[in-house]
Amino acid sequence: MIYTVSFNPSLDYVQDLDCVNLGYVNRTSGEKILPGGKGINVSMVLKNLGFENQALGFTAGFTGEVLKSMLKAKGVESDFIELDAGMTRINVKIRAKEETEINGQGPKISADALEQLYQKLETLQGGDILVLAGSIPESMPQSAYMDIMKRLQDKKLKIVVDATRDLLVNVLPYKPFMIKPNNFELGEIFGVEIKDKDDVCKYAKKLQEQGARNVLVSMAGDGAVLLAEDGSEYRAEAPKGTVKNSVGAGDSMVAGFIAGYLITDGGADAYRNAFEMGVCTGSASAFSEELATKEEVEGLYVKTFGKK
Ligand SMILES: Nc1ncnc2c1ncn2[C@@H]1O[C@H](COP(=O)(O)OP(=O)(O)OP(=O)(O)O)[C@@H](O)[C@H]1O
Ligand SMILES: O=P(O)(O)OC[C@@]1(O)O[C@H](CO)[C@@H](O)[C@@H]1O
C-alpha cells in the first residue's frame, strides 16, 4: 500500500486575473478551490494513475472538513487526525502574468496528535511506500520527518521525502528511497547557484553520498535529472507544451516516479521507467488546468518517449 503524509494540507484558492495592482482592489476573472498540500497532490495523482493509496496527516476546523469531503468526492482514501484547535490553511494561488503563491502557516500540532500519527504509521508493513511531503507548521521541529524515519527504520518501508532545507537534509542518514528537491532547493542546501545539469549531478551526488538512495532533481521547464541507486544517471529535457498551471507539477512528478517504479515491479528498467513517468506526469500537470489525468500522462509519454 502507498501512504502519503501531509502535516500541513490546504485548500488551494486559485484566482485568475490579468495583473495584480498592489494597494488596490483587484477583481478576478475566475476562481476555484482545490484540495492542496504536497502529500495530498501526490495522493490525487496516484489515484488518477490507478494506484490506490491513503492520505494521512492533520486537519482542523471547517476548512479541514471541506478538504476531506473534496477528497472523498474524488475517491481518494484518507484517514486524517483531527486537531482540536485552528483550521486547515487556505493557500492563495494567484495566476496573473506570473504565478504568485501565498501559503498559510497552518494549525499547531499538539504532542498528543503527533503521537496519534506515529501510532498509525506503526501499522505500516514492510514493502509499503510512505511519502512525506511539504512543509510542516512552524511550531514543529525541523527534525519531524527524521523522527518518523528513525521510528520506522526497521520496517523496510520505501520512504520518499519531498521537503526543503533541514527538513530534507536531516532524513539522509536514514536512507530515504527517493528525495526530490528542485534545482533551487538543491542549490540552497549547499549555498551555491546551480547553473546546469552538470551542477545538478555534482550536488545530487553529494546527497546520495549522505544517504539518499535515489535523487530526483526537478528543473521546471528545464527538465530533470535522476541519480539512481544502481549508479545510473538519467537526464531529460522537459516535454514541450503550454503551461496552464505549475502548482503541483513537482508533486505530480513524485507520483509519476512511484507509479513508473511500481509498473516495472522494481525490475531491471525500473529507474528509467520511473524517471520517464515522473517527467511526463509533472509536465502533464503543468499543461493541464488541474492535476494530470491518466490519459494526459499516457498521451504525453507516447509523444515524448515514443512508447507506452
Ligand atoms: N514550464 C514547464 N514546462 C514543461 N514541464 C514542466 C514545466 N514546469 C514543470 N514541469 C514539469 O514538472 C516537473 C516538476 O516541476 P518543478 O521543478 O517546477 O517542481 P517543483 O518546484 O517541486 O514544483 P511545485 O512545488 O510547484 O510542485 C519538471 O521536472 C517538469 O517535468
Ligand atoms: O507550504 P508547502 O507545504 O511547502 O506547500 C504547499 C503547497 O504550495 O504545495 C502544493 C503544490 O506543490 C500546493 O497544493 C500547496 O498549496
Give yes or no for a contact between 179 and 212, defined as CB atoms under 8 angstroms apart: yes
At 245-267, the pLDDT tens digits run 889 999 999 999 999 999 998 77
Residues catalogued as catalytic:
251
Nearest Cα residue to atom 12 of ligand 1: 282
Give yes or no for a contact between 152 and 120, defined as CB atoms under 8 angstroms apart: no
State if residue 218 touches ligand 1 by the CB under 6 angstroms criterion.
yes
At 3-47, the pLDDT tens digits run 999 999 999 999 999 999 999 999 999 999 999 999 999 999 999
In this structure, what DSSP letter does residue 174 have?
A: G
Cell of 84: 482540536
State if residue 250 touches ligand 2 by the CB under 6 angstroms criterion.
yes
For residue 82, the surrounding DSSP H or E stretch is strand 77-82
State if residue 283 touches ligand 1 by the CB under 6 angstroms criterion.
yes
The residues near 73 (Cβ < 8 Å, ≥ 6 apart) are none
How far, in Å, from the CA of 41 to the mean position of ligand 2? Answer: 9
At 181-217, the pLDDT tens digits run 999 999 999 999 999 999 999 999 999 999 999 999 9
Inter-CA distances, 83 with 13, 66, 220, 261, Å: 22, 15, 35, 35
Give yes or no for a contact between 46 and 53, defined as CB atoms under 8 angstroms apart: yes
- pLDDT, average across residues 92-101: 93
**Range 29-37 contact pairs with CB under 8 angstroms and sequence separation of 24 or more:** 33/66, 33/70, 34/70, 34/290, 35/9, 35/11, 35/67, 35/70, 35/71, 35/74, 35/76, 36/9, 36/10, 36/11, 36/12, 36/91, 36/247, 36/248, 37/6, 37/8, 37/9, 37/10, 37/133, 37/134
ipTM of the complex in this document:
0.97
Inter-CA distances, 180 with 15, 165, 200, 252, 258, Å: 27, 12, 12, 11, 12
- pLDDT, average across residues 132-144: 89
For residue 139, what pLDDT band results from cuts at 50, 70 and 90?
A: confident
pLDDT for 141 equals 85
Residue-range domains of the chain with CATH:
2-7+36-87+106-305 (3.40.1190.20)
* Gap between the terminal Cα atoms of the chain: 24
pLDDT for 138 equals 83
Output the pTM of the full model: 0.96
Q: Which atom of ligand 2 is nearest to the CA of 93?
A: 16
At 263-308, the pLDDT tens digits run 998 777 899 999 999 999 999 999 999 999 999 999 999 999 987 6
- pLDDT, average across residues 231-239: 96
pLDDT for 308 equals 61
State if residue 250 touches ligand 1 by the CB under 6 angstroms criterion.
yes
State if residue 144 touches ligand 1 by the CB under 6 angstroms criterion.
no
State if residue 134 touches ligand 2 by the CB under 6 angstroms criterion.
yes
Give yes or no for a contact between 137 and 59, defined as CB atoms under 8 angstroms apart: no
How far, in Å, from the CA of 221 to the mean position of ligand 1? Answer: 6
DSSP annotation string for 116-155: HHHHHHTT--TT-EEEEES---TTS-TTHHHHHHHHTTTS
| Sole residue written with cell 541519480 | 227
pLDDT for 229 equals 95
Pocket test for ligand 1, best of 12, 135, 218, 219 (most atoms within 8 A of CB): 218
Q: Which atom of ligand 1 is nearest to the CA of 278?
A: 31
Q: Which ligand is nearest to the CA of 194?
A: 1
